Copies of this chain bind each other. A is one copy, B any other.
Amino acid sequence: MTTRIDGRKLAQQILSKVAEDVAAAGASGRVPGLATILVGDDPASAVYVAAKRRAIREAGMRDFHRALPARATQEEVAAVIDELAADPAVSGILLQLPLPGRLDAPALIDRIPVTKDVDGLTTASAGLLARGVHGLRPCTPLGVIELLDAEGIPIEGARAAVVGWGELVGRPLAQLLLRRGATVTVAHEFTTDLAAVTRPADIVVAATGVRGLIGPEHIKPGAAVIDVGMHRTEAGLTGDVRAAELEGIAGCITPVPGGVGPMTIAMLMRNTLYAAEWERAAA
């Protein structure tokens, strides 16, 4: 029997707890606020930003939003970030990616102050994570850790394989798993024998962007399989894992959709709450 981990349910529990904490903060006149910045009119980005803004309002936080045209210059986007950075009502700043190709995205991301970096993607936040000191961590990796914990999967002493070494998921997740005491192997496009890397693992995380890459040949019976992939197909959303083929092999698996996806927004809301607390503690 392979357990399907319900990311929607866990995300909802986390969001309820965040809403409670926001209400408590609000009672003391300190309502956290999240600013989303959307540059251009990419339809997928618009959908993601709308979902985040809905979550902000449902959590009882203040929703700051800035929409800039696709032709916005580096200086114009920078000015918006600087204005939000200086605004004490704004606890967190989220610059929706990808940006139009002409813009220097890393430079813009690095304008976000580390205390407001709710996506955890600035160089400063990456440094805090690498050194293991207090800071805001990227949302999807945080969500993966929460799912493992909620499912009661031991991390300390476990062998984990992180397949994919991207900046949003694989790289920070490897750090988080190591920090929790897992023995971590990172695989990627240069890995010659992927199954040899993943088969010894108790926890396999697929964040490759390659649809259906991971199948039964990669998974040890009983392992926890976390699918971070998200691919639109005619049959609906599907992931990096051939989930149906793992039935009866994996100990548990996150479905796509309804696994890791909902957790990302939940962790963004929690990061915004943490950012508000951090800025208050630092003030």
Contact = CB atoms under 8 A, between A and B. Distances in A.
A187 interface: yes
B133 A128 contact: no
Contacts of A186: 174, 178, 183-185
A131 B157 contact: no
Of A157, A178, A187, chain B has the most CB atoms within 10 Å of the CB of A178
Interface in A140-194: 156-157, 159, 165, 167, 171, 174-175, 178, 181-188, 190-192
Contacts of A167: 131
Interface stretch (A119-127, A230-238, A262-270): A119-127
A184 B165 CA distance: 11
Contact of A128 (B123, B185, B200): B123
Interface residues of A, number: 35
Interface in A29-67: none
Contacts of A156: 190
Interface string A181-219: 111111110111000110010000000000000000000
A282 to B, nearest CB: 14
B127 A130 contact: yes
Nearest to A125: B127
Interface in A213-248: none
Given A124-B127, A127-B127, A131-B106, A178 B183 contact: no
A176 to B, nearest CB: 12
A129 interface: yes
Contacts of A127: 122-128, 130
7 contacts: A106-B133, A123-B130, A126-B131, A130-B171, A156-B190, A178-B188, A185-B185
Given A123-B130, A183-B192, 15 more contacts: A106-B131, A123-B127, A124-B127, A125-B127, A126-B126, A127-B128, A130-B175, A157-B190, A157-B191, A157-B192, A159-B197, A178-B188, A181-B188, A183-B185, A185-B186
